[in-house]
């Protein structure tokens, strides 16, 4: 696929930094975003050095989004709305990949979907029709992403526009995952809810990397 510049908003966190690393390894230009621009710049410099000069830079969130073709939001649920409201002017005409899971501490092993239906629908409501929201990467262990190991799990991708979903499916494949079209954006409710189930399974079975695999369907790869 053509390689758009990717802004990872929340790219200094565990999930965001792991995704940034995998896309940088795959040759994408990556802009790490953080509420503190200096923190993002330091993380980007460290990653670029570790990967032998990969195309990674660090910025404050709005600046990161302004310079990218696709933005990925990888922040806790409590920060989703204020950050999207901040970067909304930079997202017009672009795809926003929302990884947000509506976990409500301390009961993170219990499904607690918001009144709007799911976090992805909240994001679309905040951004309006000028931005296409696609939902993905909810059920991925962040430490596996960072390690560079085979993730051994699949990524479900939900969105109302098939072309945008396909773009994100291919981004997930570039990061080393099998990825699947999972229907309209409202279906993100199932994906987001599953995260609490996987957290419970990790706790119950004394594991760390519970994930999902889709069976009975042939996965097309690039």
Residues in the chain: 222
Q: How far apart are CA 96 and CA 172, in angstroms?
A: 14
SS3 (DSSP) at 171:
helix
Q: What is the pLDDT of residues 23-53, one digit of tens each?
A: 999 999 999 999 999 999 999 999 999 999 7
Catalogue all structural domains in the chain, each as residue range(s) with its CATH number. 6-204 (3.40.50.720)
CA atoms within 13 A on the CB side of 79: 14
Instruction: Determine if residue 128 is left, alpha or beta; phi over 0 gives left, psi from -120 to 50 gives alpha, anything else beta.
Output: left
**Cβ partners under 8 Å of residue 162, min gap 6:** 181
CB 133 within 8 A of CB 120: yes
Q: What is the pLDDT of residues 183-199, one digit of tens each?
A: 999 999 999 999 999 99
| pLDDT given for residue 222 in this prediction | 55
Asked if the peptide bond before residue 218 counts as cis, ω within 30 degrees of 0, the response is no
> pTM score, two decimals?
0.95
């Amino acid at each position: 696929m053509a390689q758009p510049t990717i802004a990872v908003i929340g790219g200094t966190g565990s999930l965001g930094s792991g995704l940034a690393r995998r896309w940088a390894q795959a040759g994408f230009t990556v802009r790490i975003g953080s509420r503190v621009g200096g923190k993002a710049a330091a993380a980007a410099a460290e990653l670029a050095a570790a990967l032998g000069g990969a195309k990674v830079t660090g910025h404050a969130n709005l600046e990161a989004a302004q310079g990218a073709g696709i933005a990925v939001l990888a922040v806790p649920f409590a920060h989703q709305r204020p950050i999207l409201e901040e970067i909304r002017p930079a997202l017009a005409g672009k795809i926003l990949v929302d990884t947000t899971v509506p976990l409500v501490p301390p009961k993170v092993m219990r499904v607690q979907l918001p009144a709007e239906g799911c976090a992805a629908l909240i994001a679309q409501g905040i951004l309006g029709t000028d931005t296409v929201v696609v939902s993905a990467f909810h059920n991925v262990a962040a430490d596996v992403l960072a390690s560079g190991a085979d993730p051994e799990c699949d990524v479900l991708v939900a969105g109302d526009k098939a072309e945008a979903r396909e773009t994100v499916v291919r981004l997930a494949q570039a990061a080393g995952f099998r990825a699947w079209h999972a229907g309209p954006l409202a279906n993100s409710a199932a994906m987001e809810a599953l995260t609490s189930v996987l957290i419970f399974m990790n706790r119950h079975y004394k594991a760390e990397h519970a994930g999902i695999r889709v069976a009975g369907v042939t996965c097309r790869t690039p």
